[in-house]
Structure 1
């Protein structure tokens, strides 16, 4: 059975070279990326992939976001996006059996040019969707300046890969200046994804653009575990707030808040080899809204660890052949309109 890894990360050479020129201010994130050979070295990437038969990867750009790497320069962010999209398209054309598709990168810091670059990558280069981050250099996704992007993706009917973004400069407590113990990553990234999803729900972006298809990284982050709060909890929106009219907002939504999260988002299986998280996410979203992904090459061994563990978990569940096919490639085909099966 074909297994298509829907959320993997790689630096194409042109992008990697430019990142090295402009991202000297990034410190730890860039050093970590460079220390993972399989994220920029094709030979090492192929060594990892060769351990798994009937396995291929959809490529997307790794963190950090363009807006951070570029130091806030929109022209640099746009050039980085172009190099990324051209480079990923070239890799897919050269190695179609290994990389049957790629996800574009949208530079949201340059709203109009970012929309145009996304359209170019999808229409001209063949990207099956695009990746954005949970915030744009600290700005929420529901700001009016980003609405043109969602309008364009609604028209294109291609999915959005939603990746979290948060750094150590985001403190855990108000009286501190930084996050300690990498809490910004362990708990901060799932929080970021969940908040971005909620803002798209309550800003009514999903009501306005019903063709949006969003894949929330790491099995929908915190949402499945907090089903009780997202469901019965948010059914009471407004009871805890006196300075905003959330009662009217709740009534204006086209459906229950919980139903947006369960029905309008998709999720991937990249949960770092956790069986409990996989069970929770599958129970919440159902097999029709989950795609297989490993987050390659981010695992402790810098090798096949999370790919192997994710596959072992899925194969160990009581799933029918039909449901396995849905998770491994058919759901992704339905989402993207791209055929992966022979």
Structure 2
């Protein structure tokens, strides 16, 4: 059974060095964390991890996001340089192991012009299979007009877009504080941010404008499968009993539009019940094996093995399991087959 991990991370060290050299703040905010995760930066160690766990391919989604370095992110020229450098470095790794790695492009989201230039280069020249959009309260909203050309072009090309939360640790949970406490920004905030961008995209009518567009959500579809009934009941209740009107341009029940998203299986541990909820909501054809490797204390060994074990213990048929492990992803990127 072919196993393709559709949501892993990789960080070219030269990218971190560029971010550090282009700002006064050194070391980079993620330098210490990434240095403790050698499979994040070393392709040979990554291949050993994959072989140990029986994984055929890794889709490499780059880290860190450019938005994490505001002085670079707000400078269109330097942001474009950063994205180009990261994508070029990732291309070298993928091209040396084309049977094991696939690349996802990072994009400078300072304006549509530089965003689209790098997207076209990454897809048409580097042969990447898609691009990642980082979303959160300090980044560009997912339904902002800056993304409209990207969504249109991605739908035309049949290229999927990965969604990844990027709420930073210095974004406070309360207005009287200057940073998030107790890892709330990551443990719960990221799930909220992924869910929020899904809501913004649905009610912006994205699936009506571009029926062929494909979004891959992180962390098993975040909060949507868990709170789908609550969301729909709230939509109906407020529209029927108050002045709230959400969007007359998409059909009821609104929650059904969320089933257009794809989700991965990254639960950060052994969680077959969470995957069962994702299976029941999105349907088996919209679930992709994705582990968030290598972001754990054993450089990816925990997330890979526990995600694999969760899928293996789902109460589904072997044909459905084969879809989740690889066939769904192969069909999703059929443009490259």
Q: TM-score, normalised by structure 2?
A: 0.91
Q: Is residue 6–residue 290 contact of structure 2 (8 Å, CA) maintained in 1? A: yes
Residue 203 (str. 1) matches residue 204 (str. 2): yes
Q: Deviation at 1:255?
A: 4.5
Name the residue aligned to 2:88.
86
Name the residue aligned to 1:168.
169
Q: Deviation at 1:14?
A: 3.8
Change in Cα spacing, 1:241 to 1:151, as seen in structure 2 (3 Å) is: farther
TM-superposition CA deviations, 1:270-305 (whole Å, max 9, x none): 110223322221221121100001111101222411
Question: Partners in 1 of 2:77 and 2:240 — Cα distance?
Answer: 45
Change in Cα spacing, 1:339 to 1:135, as seen in structure 2 (3 Å) is: same
Q: Is residue 3–residue 55 contact of structure 1 (8 Å, CA) maintained in 2? A: yes
**Within-5 A mapping of 1:97-176:** 97-99=99-101, 101-135=102-136, 137-176=138-177
Give the aligned CA root-mean-square deviation in angstroms: 2.1
Residue 67 (str. 1) matches residue 67 (str. 2): yes
Q: Deviation at 1:179?
A: 1.1
Question: Partners in 2 of 1:299 and 1:241 — Cα distance?
Answer: 46
State which of 271, 281, 285 in structure 1 corresponds to 2:278. Answer: 281
Q: Is residue 67–residue 74 contact of structure 1 (8 Å, CA) maintained in 2? A: no
Name the residue aligned to 1:292.
289
Q: Is residue 86–residue 106 contact of structure 2 (8 Å, CA) maintained in 1? A: yes
Residue 323 (str. 1) matches residue 325 (str. 2): no
Q: Is residue 68–residue 137 contact of structure 1 (8 Å, CA) maintained in 2? A: no
Name the residue aligned to 2:308.
311
Q: Is residue 9–residue 296 contact of structure 1 (8 Å, CA) maintained in 2? A: yes
Question: Partners in 1 of 2:293 and 2:37 — Cα distance?
Answer: 11
TM-superposition CA deviations, 1:170-205 (whole Å, max 9, x none): 222233222100101000000000001101111223
Change in Cα spacing, 1:211 to 1:23, as seen in structure 2 (3 Å) is: farther
Question: Partners in 2 of 1:47 and 1:108 — Cα distance?
Answer: 34
Residue 272 (str. 1) matches residue 268 (str. 2): yes
Q: Is residue 154–residue 212 contact of structure 1 (8 Å, CA) maintained in 2? A: yes
**Aligned with 1:104: secondary structure?**
strand
Residue 40 (str. 1) matches residue 41 (str. 2): yes
**Aligned with 2:177: secondary structure?**
coil
**Aligned with 1:221: secondary structure?**
coil
Deviates more, 1:287-296 or 1:72-81: 72-81
Q: Deviation at 1:338?
A: 5.1
Change in Cα spacing, 1:236 to 1:250, as seen in structure 2 (3 Å) is: farther
TM-superposition CA deviations, 1:27-58 (whole Å, max 9, x none): 54332123211111223223322212252211
Question: Partners in 2 of 1:239 and 1:300 — Cα distance?
Answer: 49
TM-superposition CA deviations, 1:283-341 (whole Å, max 9, x none): 2112110000111110122241110011111112222221112111111112121567x
For structure 1, the 5+ residue unaligned runs are: none
Q: Is residue 11–residue 63 contact of structure 2 (8 Å, CA) maintained in 1? A: yes
Change in Cα spacing, 1:14 to 1:176, as seen in structure 2 (3 Å) is: closer
Residue 221 (str. 1) matches residue 218 (str. 2): no
Name the residue aligned to 1:57.
58
Question: How many aligned residue pairs are there?
Answer: 333
Q: Deviation at 1:137?
A: 4.0
Question: Partners in 2 of 1:282 and 1:58 — Cα distance?
Answer: 21
For structure 2, the 5+ residue unaligned runs are: none
**Aligned with 1:225: secondary structure?**
helix
Question: Partners in 2 of 1:75 and 1:235 — Cα distance?
Answer: 46
Change in Cα spacing, 1:80 to 1:12, as seen in structure 2 (3 Å) is: same
Change in Cα spacing, 1:255 to 1:158, as seen in structure 2 (3 Å) is: farther
